Amino acid sequence: MLRVVQKLKCTPPEKYFVTVLAKPPKGGILGAQMTDFVFWLAAGFLTGVVFGSFFEWALHRFVMHRPVKGFTYPFRAHAQVHHRVFRADHTYHLIDEKDKWTIPMAWWNGPVIVLLCSLPFVGAAWLSGRWGLAVGGPLACALYFAAYEYLHWCMHLPRRRHIERSGLFFRLNGHHLLHHRYMHKNFNVVLPLADLLLGTLLLRSKIAFPQPVGPTVPNLQPLTQPRT
């Protein structure tokens, strides 16, 4: 086995598969292929989570908050309806039961968004032959969208759920509340990495405002200036 490893280290790339076929490593060719697949699946998943943050940011900023010529549905549904119903005051939490279904996206939005988010990973898998990317990336996109919808639902319709008691939810809820106060800030709901790197992150309000209160909502009022 040691001789095989030493030989592989000095084997040119174009002769690698010839060497493996002649004397496959422990576990056989199938085992090596499975290890390679799992590695690229994990790489695709982790990359998909990061990519999901930037995809969410771009979709939220440029499609849901700006009317796209010929396709104004996302802008109307989100900026004109959702933000009109749910503001940064006590109406951040659901008041009228009939407005409940303005919290989530329409049912068909999910498959479309996940498909669009998955395309770069499928393309990369096609070009590279690393088909684990075509599984890990779309899986991350699907879970990211599910997390977006569930967190967003819990933020506007709190019910003392288990997740609502976590420190992570507490911070993300404050992050999103500030978006309802400043619609040009805090576009991320799930992972504010894109907000941080693209300059739209806001941690606290610049001015005092009548924010909602509750165990899941942090104090977002401006810090008082120390007396001199």
User: Measuring CA to CA, which residue among 30, 17, 22 is closest to residue 3?
Assistant: 22
Q: CA 112 to CA 139: how far, in whole Å?
A: 14
H/E element holding 151?
Answer: helix 133-156
Q: What is the pLDDT of residue 113?
A: 98
Q: pTM value?
A: 0.85
53 Rama sector, left if φ>0, alpha if ψ -120 to 50, beta otherwise: alpha
Two structure tokens written together for 165: 């008691």
Q: What is the pLDDT of residue 27?
A: 58
Confidence class for position 12, pLDDT limits 50, 70, 90: low
> Could you report the per-residue pLDDT of 119-143, keeping only the tens digit for each?
999 999 999 999 999 999 999 999 9
